[in-house]
Amino acid sequence: MVIMAIDYGDVRTGVAVCDKNCILASPVGVIRETDAAALAEKITALAREYRAERLVLGLPRNMDGSEGFRAEACKAFASLLAETSGLQVVLRDERLTTVSAHRALSDAGVYGKKRKQSVDAVSAVFILQDYIDSI
């Protein structure tokens, strides 16, 4: 089953996909879009292109596990994305994925503008890899 993960952001949204055997997550890229409906359409088009059967959306939680306003925005986007794509959207805790993404990019020697352009896609990889490891 091909699964696609999304690290939803106000301006940049990272996307990752796994292989059909659900073993390895890989970055797809970053979508720059501020309109939620247009973003949902772009993600739906990518899901069709990659033949994704399920979507995993990062859910930002506070370190104590509580949910803030950003989590509510992600839940609303999850509903919109499910309606637009017709696919199941699973919410997945994304705590520390951005920290992990920055660390991985540092270890790979990626800094500055290149890092800013790719950190959201790498965060989506961490969200997806955590999800596929759990199933």
pLDDT at residue 35 in the model: 97
Q: What is the mean pLDDT of the chain?
A: 89
Into how many domains does the chain fold? 1
Q: How far is CA 129 from the centre of its chain?
A: 11
Instruction: Inform me whether the pLDDT recorded for 118 exceeds 90.
Output: no
Domain holding 95: CATH number?
A: 3.30.420.140
Place of tokens 């370190």: 63
Distance CA 103, CA 33 (A): 25
> What integer pLDDT is reported at residue 122 of this predicted model?
86
Task: Read off the tokens for 99.
Answer: 């920290």
85: pLDDT confidence band, cut at 50, 70 and 90? very high
Whole-prediction pTM: 0.89
- The residue that leads in pLDDT, 12 or 117, is 12
Q: How far is CA 30 from the centre of its chain?
A: 9
d(CA 75, CA 57): 9
In this model, does residue 6 exceed pLDDT 60? yes
Q: What average pLDDT does this structure show over 55-82?
A: 90
pLDDT at 86: 98
The crossing angle, in degrees rounded to 10, of helices 97-107 and 112-134 is 120
110 lies in which domain range?
Answer: 3-134
